[in-house]
Amino acid sequence: MQHGFIFTGTDPELAVELAPLAEESGWDAFFVWEGIWATDPWATLAAAAMVTERIRLGTMLTPVPRRRAWELAGQTMTVDRLSRGRVILSAGLGVPQDVEERFWIFEDDPGRKVRAELLDEGLELMQHLWQGHPFEYEAAHYRAKRTDTMLPPAIVQQPRIPTWVVGVWPRMTSMRRVARYDGWIPNYAPPNASGIDPLEQQRTYTPDIAAEAIAWIMAERERLGLADRSFDVVHEGTTGGVDPVADAAVVGPWAAAGATWWLESDWQVPADRVAEYARDRLRAGPPRLV
């Protein structure tokens, strides 16, 4: 299992300070969050790329339907090249307007169906954009006319920047999208649930359910001819960093279920304590199994 740390603060200077601390302390990845009107995560990660050598860098997560695919492709390519191939893109639909009004102050939510279409087209379009070669694209929401001039350089990682995608288990349309890419960021819709309530999901999503979903993903990837390609499964949670045995007891069941990444986060830390918390938790090191 690999270990990432999610910086939940908003100060880009602090994030750039923390990235090398994460690397020195044995973490495998450093993530920042992406908002609609917020600190630019890709500018922050570009700066972090210049002060680190090993650690992977990414967002948790990018609402691809809210972004212009060509701009996102340029930003991710830039950080991928500056970091010499250490970028991860975490992609999702974005928060619905009825869940978080703050993210919809500039436009109205077109609805889950349209956002899902934009996510599929955006991810597909970026596969071409990342290669920096002439191409044409035509779909319901996006198009690209062929051009042979002023082409940007290609990404370092091939065939694409590793792309982790949010998928809601057991909603098959969502999960089939996940299986085509490089990792699963789990959401869970309990049976008979009318929506996806974060608190209910946290209460009911268990390692046994994760193992069931992972088995389905692997079978689907075999059906698609992707079984020989690496695939990551993410689990996000909180450990104390003080008692290795207690931390291992939290992380271990998820590793046994098939999770390949533990992402450490605590979104409840007050803004005025984020710096202190992040420094202390990073220095304590990741919650390795013992």
Is 146 within a domain?
yes
Closest CA to 68 of 1, 143, 4, 18: 143
Per cent of the chain over pLDDT 70 is: 98
Is 183 within a domain?
no
Is 225 within a domain?
no
Q: Cβ contacts of residue 277 below 8 Å, gap of 6+? A: 266, 269
The pLDDT-based confidence of 8 (bands split at 50, 70, 90) is very high
Distance CA 37, CA 57 (A): 21
Is 173 within a domain?
no
Start-to-end CA span in the chain (Å): 12
Residue ranges making up the domain that contains 138: 2-164+230-284
Is 171 within a domain?
no
Work out how many domains the chain is built from and give that number: 1
DSSP state of 253: H
Q: State residue 194's pLDDT score.
A: 66
Given the structure tokens 């202190």, which residue do they identify? 276
Q: Please report which residue ranges of 89-228 form alpha helices under DSSP H.
A: 112-129, 172-179, 198-204, 207-223
Average model confidence (pLDDT) for the chain?
96
Q: Retrieve residue 229's tokens.
A: 């390609």
Query: What residues pair up with 80 in beta bridges, in sequence order?
Result: none
Q: Quick check: 190 pLDDT over 80?
A: yes
In tens, the pLDDT along 244-286 reads 999 999 999 999 999 999 999 999 999 999 999 999 999 999 9
Q: What is the pTM of this model?
A: 0.96
Is 36 within a domain?
yes
Q: State residue 45's pLDDT score.
A: 98
Given the structure tokens 């954009």, which residue do they identify? 129
The pLDDT-based confidence of 200 (bands split at 50, 70, 90) is confident
The pLDDT-based confidence of 11 (bands split at 50, 70, 90) is very high
Is 204 within a domain?
no
Q: Retrieve residue 186's tokens.
A: 């789990």
Distance CA 230, CA 220 (A): 14
Is 21 within a domain?
yes
CATH at 81: 3.20.20.30
